[in-house]
């Protein structure tokens, strides 16, 4: 298996311009199956229901195989890591209400901001209808299966750190001969000047036989092995 799960984080109208550039670049690269992680009310200022054109774009992506899932609720720092079970349960219900009002379907998965969840948060996720979640160490499925893989992420903050991480990511990709690679992209990668490096690395992987997938497609494949 040579699978690359491309996930686009922070999908919110706040970053519509940056996301459009990312989506076009991914489409042109042939990565039309991917996970798009949607923030329902980014920083309490960008509620999905107020942006029907943005929602319509994501629905069109879903119709051709993208996985459109829930990514926190407001995208506060370590949002679901700080929540106990009750707080996480309430937050998930609020996020699902906003998501459902906009999309009229239930998201298959949930990924917390910064991939950080408390034990109580994880319990609340599985008590809902989610079939997958993702942490720093892997993608976890309700069936009990886990795809272990750390996310390749190119934007951690300070520019020196980002360049070091980029070199490490490049090396990691070049020595991998198979398995699963998680490839995470963020809208802020564009103004932070990491997007070009990401796309070069992504093209390298695609040129060497890595097949794009989404978290939801990966779940279906693993659950039917």
The tens digit of pLDDT for each residue in 56-93 reads: 999 999 999 999 999 999 999 999 999 999 999 999 99
Residue 126: predicted pLDDT: 96
Cα–Cα distance measured from residue 39 to residue 113, given in angstroms and rounded to the nearest whole number: 9
Residue 225: predicted pLDDT: 55
Sequence ranges of the domains in the chain: 2-223
**Superfamily name and number for 2-223:** Glycoside hydrolase/deacetylase (3.20.20.370)
- Report the chain's terminal Cα–Cα distance, integer Å: 13
Rg (CA), the chain: 16
Q: Are 71 and 39 in contact (CB under 8 A)?
A: yes
Distances (CA, A) of 114 to 9, 103, 129, 210: 10, 24, 22, 25
Structure tokens at 164: 């070091």
What is the DSSP secondary-structure string of 161-188? HHHHHHHHHHHHHHH--SEEEEEEE-GG
Q: What are the residues facing 2 on neighbouring strands?
A: 179
Q: Are 38 and 71 in contact (CB under 8 A)?
A: yes
Residue 154: predicted pLDDT: 84
Residue 129: predicted pLDDT: 85
Ramachandran angles phi, psi of 81, nearest 5°? -75, -30
Residues of the chain with pLDDT under 50: none
For residue 96, give the DSSP letter: H
């Amino acid at each position: 298996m040579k699978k690359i799960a491309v996930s686009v984080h922070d999908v919110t109208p706040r970053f519509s311009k940056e996301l459009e550039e990312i989506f076009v670049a991914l489409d042109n690269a042939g990565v039309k199956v991917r996970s798009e992680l949607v923030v329902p009310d980014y920083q309490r200022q960008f509620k999905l229901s107020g942006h029907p054109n943005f929602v319509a774009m994501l629905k069109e992506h879903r119709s051709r195989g993208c996985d459109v899932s829930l990514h926190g609720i407001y995208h506060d720092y370590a949002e679901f890591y700080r929540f106990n079970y009750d707080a996480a349960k309430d937050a998930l219900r609020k996020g699902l209400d906003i998501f459902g009002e906009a999309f009229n379907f239930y998201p298959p998965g949930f990924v917390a901001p910064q991939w950080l969840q408390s034990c109580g948060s994880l319990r609340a996720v599985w008590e809902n209808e989610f079939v997958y979640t993702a942490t720093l160490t892997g993608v976890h499925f309700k069936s009990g299966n886990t795809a272990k893989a750390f996310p390749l992420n190119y934007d951690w903050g300070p520019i020196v750190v980002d360049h070091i991480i980029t070199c490490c990511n490049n090396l990691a990709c070049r020595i991998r001969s198979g398995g699963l690679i998680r490839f995470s992209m963020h809208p802020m990668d564009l103004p932070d000047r990491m997007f070009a490096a990401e796309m070069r690395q992504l093209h390298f992987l695609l040129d060497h036989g890595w097949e794009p997938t989404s978290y939801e497609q990966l779940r279906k494949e693993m659950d039917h092995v």
